[in-house]
Structures are given as C-alpha cells and as structure tokens.
Amino acid sequence: MKRTTIIILACMLTTMAAMAQTGLNINRLFDGRYKKAADATEIIVTGSQAHEIGLTIYHSISVTEKAQAEIIENLVVKDGAKAIDKEVEYRNGQLYYGFYTLPKYKRSNRYIFFLNQNLARKSPKNVVTLIYMEGDASAEKIKKLIRK
C-alpha cells in the first residue's frame, strides 16, 4: 500500500514539476488574467518559434492600466532579488528598467525584462512591459537579440 502511494505521489509530483514553471513570483501574472483584458497584450511563444531566437519560452505582458504597474513592479523586484546579475534603473523611486539574469532552472537560463514607459523621459507612454525568457541563450545573446 505504502509503495503504491509513493509511486502515485512520485508520478504526480514529476508531472506537476514538469508543468509548473519555476516558482517565480511573476508566474502569478501569467495566470491568464490578461488574456481577455481590454488594456493588455500577452504573448506566449514556445517550441520551434521560440527556438528560432534561442529560447524555449517567451512570455510577455504589456499593460496600459496604471494600477497594474505597481503590482508588476513589486513581483519583478521580488524575483529580481534572487537574480545573479541585474541591470536596473529607478526613476522617481520607481523601477523604470530592469534586466535580470535569474539562477538557472534545469540547465535553462532565465531572464526577466521590465520596462515602465510611464517613466520615460522622451515621449512617455502609459505602458508597462514584462518579459520572461527561458532557454539556452546567454545574457549577451539576449542583449544582442534586443538590438536586432
């Protein structure tokens, strides 16, 4: 009986571990809440399309509702605290730009980009963008990617 229970639990945990992403705080934002929102854009790319840019997962959210900016920023900052490398810029006490390299997860590199364009000096826009990337790509490659 015990052995059977252990086997079932092991199978369930393996499946759950495979399905769960990474235990990041920002995962809460990727629960589908923005898919039907009138003031948001959510992009999900995995598989061959993501592979073309050296990634296994590309997941982003752009939101124009100001109230969401603080929520997203707080979660990003929490995850950013665990980053092994980061480039951040604060403006008026708020996070304007952040590029975080997170510890690897199952041999995959993980990155978070954050940008609050409300704080841009030149032509500010009411848009907050969060990007989560996962894959083989190095931080340098990711930076090159955004400079394409």
Catalog residues that contact other proteins under the rule CB under 8 A. 1, 4, 7-8, 11-12, 14-15, 18-19, 34-51, 53, 56, 58, 60, 62, 87, 89, 96-97, 99, 113, 115, 117, 120-122, 127, 129, 131, 143, 145-148
DSSP 63-114: E--HHHHHHHHHHHHHHHTT-SEEEEEEETTEEEEEEEEEEEETTEEEEEEE
Instruction: Indicate the residue among 67 and 148 with the shorter CB distance to other proteins.
Output: 148
User: Token pair of 94, please?
Assistant: 């708020």
Spatial separation of the C-alpha atoms in residues 76 and 59, rounded to whole Å: 14
Helix, strand, or coil (residue 43): strand
Closest contact distance (angstroms) between CB of 60 and other proteins is: 5
Closest contact distance (angstroms) between CB of 72 and other proteins is: 14
Instruction: Indicate the residue among 27 and 41 with the shorter CB distance to other proteins.
Output: 41
- Asked if residue 65 lies in contact with residue 132, where contact means CB atoms within 8 angstroms, the answer is no
Closest contact distance (angstroms) between CB of 85 and other proteins is: 14
Instruction: Indicate the residue among 102 and 127 with the shorter CB distance to other proteins.
Output: 127
